[in-house]
Amino acid sequence: MKNFVFPLNNGLALVKDGRYCLAFIDCDGQKRVRSKNEKIGKGWSVPFLRGILYFFVGIFSYIKTLILEDEMNSRTEEEKTKSYTNSKQIEFISKYLLLFATILLAFIYGFVILGFGPSFILETVLKIQDRLLLRFLISLFRTLIIYLSFVLLRFLPYMQSFFKFNSIGQNLLSGKKVSVSNFLNFIVIVCLFSTFVISLVAINVLWIANFFINLALFLFLIGLSYEILSLIEKAKTNLFRDFSFITTWLVFIKPSITQIEISNMVQIEIENQNDEKYENGEVPLSSLFAEMKTKLEANERYEKSDVEWIIANVLGVNRAELKLKKSVSKEEAKKILSYCGRRAKGEPLSSIFGFVDFYGCKIEVNKKVLSPRMETELLVDECLKKIKKDNLKTVLDLCTGSGAIAIAIAKNSTAQIYASDLSKQALTVAKFNAEQNNVKVEFVHSDLFSSIKKKFDLIVSNPPYIKTKDIEKLDKEVKDYDPKMALDGGTDGYEFYRKIVKFAPSFLKKSGYLFFEVGKGQAQKIASLMKAQNFLDIKVLNDYNKIERIVYGRIDK
């Protein structure tokens, strides 16, 4: 089925891949959303016929959209006070007066301005006698009048919101704001093209015959317009696309923040395939998600996982269960948006909620420990693979901080886990986290290996690796909320790696492994340090963003 964008003055409707969704701002200033499945008809792949279907199904769907918007805008019976009923009666009368005025203007426009006007000016005033030239000029004149009418609409303040919604809606469909096959652009093209051709042909037999011949010609021109636009859309050269600017600029205007939020609602609603009708007092989750996305994107902090994390924590569900939710209460929405505002200002989620979800473990954090990052879960993954494959018995987490790595490994393996840190405050947090997650970890207060008394099958570390001079250049959410001690890796960022690589062989059992998480651009240097200390089978692994993030090797002694 053909995909459609139907802009409204206060919203947007989308038909995409058999789904229909309408989102708009109602008379009370609330964002409303509605979606459902659409039946997919036949004929959308037949040349010419698909253009005719696009035209008439599009108009029918647009009218249906307006009716649905009006239904959703109506209030409940309890809200219909006498004053409200009176205002609705006035509105009803106003609508009919507007309809009558529109019909009158359409008559004047069609029969006087388009029909009689050009002929009178060219034949009577300018006295052009050549019939072929006269028909050509009349066709051109009428087409120009229609084009100028669309230009006038383009600059009317009332219509600007309409075209803004059209622009952002088209962006959702095709990934670009300008599309020559956009429904509004298609309507403009059909009006201009059919007016010119039908006026040029100028069939003049019996009036009833004129009607049916012109109707057949009009349908043919609709199909032809669609096929031409489809070819332009697929054209490899920009020549035709640049030429199409003659009409596309009429129906596309850069959207505002409000329009972007509405478009996000539509996109989320269609992706989630929600078929719910939301009652008063409930805020659609898609509306909330859209508003959060807009706010975070404006501050260049948008991550879908962050949005889901905030909503899930306020609602007290996990992210998987979040997919079953369709709406939230106004109180919950207010709380969620408050947290979103803090995140938009640069405050990390760990600071907002006081904990993070790390490898299925709830890890409490504060300003005394580094908040574990998602990339560190990959380090845990690789350690667990090696522990299970080689049946490793003992593991040391060096520079443990919050204890996240040690706790995650302890919870997912049978190995005996040890963890050390120079900061006593960090160890207090780590011990609390181990108790909360019901795992056994032996914690040691130690400056790297200074208080370590035994050897291990595997040593893992995510030590400080930021250059001292670069700490102040870090993002606000890192430099203002993570302890400097957990960030400062010395003059060149390799101070801890050099020490750990140098002394680790003395604390590893035969064929023991050393695992590191490293900073961007540090992997090859650290691999060289390990090679110089006779580590074998050194591997460098990428994170989710294809950045070299994990380095590990085996000692053979």
Here the tokens at position 413 are 């393996």
Shared domain check, 313 and 242: no
Residue 171 lies inside a defined structural domain of this protein:
yes
Helical packing angle, 404-411 and 376-390, nearest 10°: 40
C-alpha 119/C-alpha 139 separation (Å) is 10
Shared domain check, 383 and 300: no
Q: Residue 80: its pLDDT value, please?
A: 47
The amino acid at residue 375 is: E
Ramachandran region of residue 359, left (φ > 0), alpha (ψ -120 to 50) or beta? left
Q: Residue 79: its pLDDT value, please?
A: 46
C-alpha 57/C-alpha 117 separation (Å) is 33
Residue 162 lies inside a defined structural domain of this protein:
yes
Residue 353 lies inside a defined structural domain of this protein:
no
**HEC string for 253-301:** CCCCHHHHHHHHHHHHHHHHCCCCCCCCCEEEHHHHHHHHHHHHHHCCC
C-alpha 117/C-alpha 103 separation (Å) is 19
3-state SS, residue 87 = helix
Of the candidates 421, 379, 381, which has an alpha carbon nearest to the alpha carbon of residue 516? 379
Shared domain check, 291 and 191: no
Shared domain check, 375 and 286: no
3-state SS, residue 81 = coil
Residue 287 lies inside a defined structural domain of this protein:
yes
Q: What pairs with residue 553 in β-bridges? A: 514
Shared domain check, 338 and 216: no
Residue 350 lies inside a defined structural domain of this protein:
no
> What single-letter DSSP state applies at residue 318?
-
Domain of 301, CATH number, reads: 1.10.8.10
Shared domain check, 331 and 382: no
Domain of 389, CATH number, reads: 3.40.50.150
Residue 360 lies inside a defined structural domain of this protein:
no
Euclidean distance between the first and final Cα of the chain, in Å?
67
C-alpha 462/C-alpha 388 separation (Å) is 21
User: Are the beta carbons of 43 and 2 closer than 8 angstroms?
Assistant: no
* CA distances (Å), origin 217, targets 55, 214, 223, 500, 551: 15, 5, 10, 82, 71
CB atoms within 10 A of CB 188: 21
Residue 356 lies inside a defined structural domain of this protein:
no
Instruction: Show the low-confidence residues of the chain (pLDDT under 50).
Output: 1, 76-80, 82-84, 275-279
Here the tokens at position 409 are 């490994």
C-alpha 369/C-alpha 365 separation (Å) is 6
3-state SS, residue 463 = coil
The amino acid at residue 552 is: Y
Residue 270 lies inside a defined structural domain of this protein:
no
Q: How many domains does the chain have?
A: 3
Shared domain check, 340 and 374: no
Q: Residue 486: its pLDDT value, please?
A: 53
Q: Which of 236, 251, 266 is the last residue of a domain?
A: 251
Residues composing the chain: 557
C-alpha 340/C-alpha 356 separation (Å) is 16
Domain extent for 549: 368-555
Shared domain check, 230 and 129: yes
Shared domain check, 152 and 25: yes
Shared domain check, 283 and 240: no
Task: Spell out where 317-415 has E strands.
Answer: 327-329, 355-358, 361-364, 394-398
Helical packing angle, 404-411 and 424-436, nearest 10°: 30
Q: What pairs with residue 364 in β-bridges? A: 355
Q: Residue 276: its pLDDT value, please?
A: 46
Shared domain check, 310 and 377: no
Q: Read off the pLDDT of residues 463-487 as tens digits, 9 standing for 90 and up.
A: 887 776 665 655 555 555 555 555 5
Shared domain check, 42 and 180: yes
User: Are the beta carbons of 533 and 487 closer than 8 angstroms?
Assistant: no
